[in-house]
């Protein structure tokens, strides 16, 4: 017994020391909470509220030890496009490892919504827009939050009152319409000649449109550069 007891105590203390050096579930959850708290604090400074719940881990989890402050945490998917992102937790120690931790995340923020039912083709005005608190990351195509990016655009399809405006719901209106008189600019470097024409189709800025030169009656294809403005390259 005089020999066995010290040996048993040595084995027990060695096992306990090894266990204490492992990275366990609580270490990973703690790193995840610290990361999410920092994220929520950053968003609060921008006017958003972030509510989150971390997923669970097997309490028996035991990974290689990670130096103090060595656990890295980052989103593995865009938290602004899903309410179920995940965290990639990793360590670059002598025995590197990586794992994923699930998160349920709601980011609340002010977004622009339809103040009343809107129809396809409506031009968005201030009277059509209201502000509401929504879960912005539940809107996968991204909510429009700035009226400068919305007013004057055209509805692509009808929506109900309270529907958040998203980029896929609106489009830039036609800059020229069939029958409109337009100014044709023929450009060659810094040299430009202007003449009047008539649009033979509807088109938006950046699109090509067929126009008729009113002086020569010649039909040409030009690029729309603005309302009533088209350009060709000589």
**pTM above threshold 0.75:** no
Q: Is residue 6 part of a domain?
A: no
Average model confidence (pLDDT) for the chain?
Answer: 87
| pLDDT more than 90, % of the chain | 69
**Please, are residues 50 and 121 in contact by the beta-carbon 8 Å criterion?**
no
Closest CA to 217 of 232, 233, 202, 197: 197
Q: Are residues 98 and 142 part of one domain? A: no
The DSSP string of 62-93 is EE----TT-EEEEESS-TTS-SS-EEEEEE-S
Q: What is the pLDDT of residues 138-175, one digit of tens each?
A: 998 888 888 988 998 999 999 999 999 999 999 988 88
Q: Which domain holds residue 51?
A: 21-107
Q: Are residues 30 and 89 part of one domain? A: yes
Q: Are residues 128 and 71 part of one domain? A: no
Q: Are residues 93 and 33 part of one domain? A: yes
For the chain, 234 residues long, the average pLDDT of each consecutive 10-residue run is 35 39 91 96 95 95 84 94 95 89 95 95 94 91 87 93 93 89 90 92 90 92 91 88
Task: Please give the tally of structural domains in the chain.
Answer: 3
Q: Is residue 124 part of a domain?
A: yes
């Amino acid at each position: 017994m005089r020999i066995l007891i010290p040996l048993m105590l040595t084995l027990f203390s060695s096992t306990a020391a090894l266990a204490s050096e492992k990275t366990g579930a609580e270490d990973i959850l703690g790193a995840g909470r610290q990361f999410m708290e920092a994220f929520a604090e950053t968003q609060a400074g921008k006017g958003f509220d972030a509510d989150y719940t971390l997923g669970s881990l097997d309490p028996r989890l035991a990974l290689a030890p990670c130096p103090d402050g060595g656990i890295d945490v980052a989103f593995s998917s865009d938290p602004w496009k899903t309410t179920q992102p995940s965290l990639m937790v990793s360590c670059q120690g002598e025995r590197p490892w990586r794992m994923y931790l699930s998160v349920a995340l709601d980011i609340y923020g002010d977004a622009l919504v339809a103040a009343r039912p809107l129809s396809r083709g409506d031009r968005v005005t201030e009277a059509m827009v209201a502000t509401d608190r929504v879960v912005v990351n539940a809107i996968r195509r991204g909510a429009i939050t700035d009226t400068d990016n919305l007013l004057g655009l055209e509805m692509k399809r009808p929506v109900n009152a309270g529907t958040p405006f998203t980029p896929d719901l609106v489009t830039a209106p036609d800059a020229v319409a069939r029958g409109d008189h337009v100014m044709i600019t023929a450009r060659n470097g810094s040299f430009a000649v202007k003449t009047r024409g008539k649009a033979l189709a509807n088109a938006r800025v950046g699109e090509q449109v067929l126009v008729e030169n009113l002086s020569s009656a010649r039909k040409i294809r030009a690029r729309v550069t603005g309302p009533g403005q088209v350009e060709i390259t000589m």
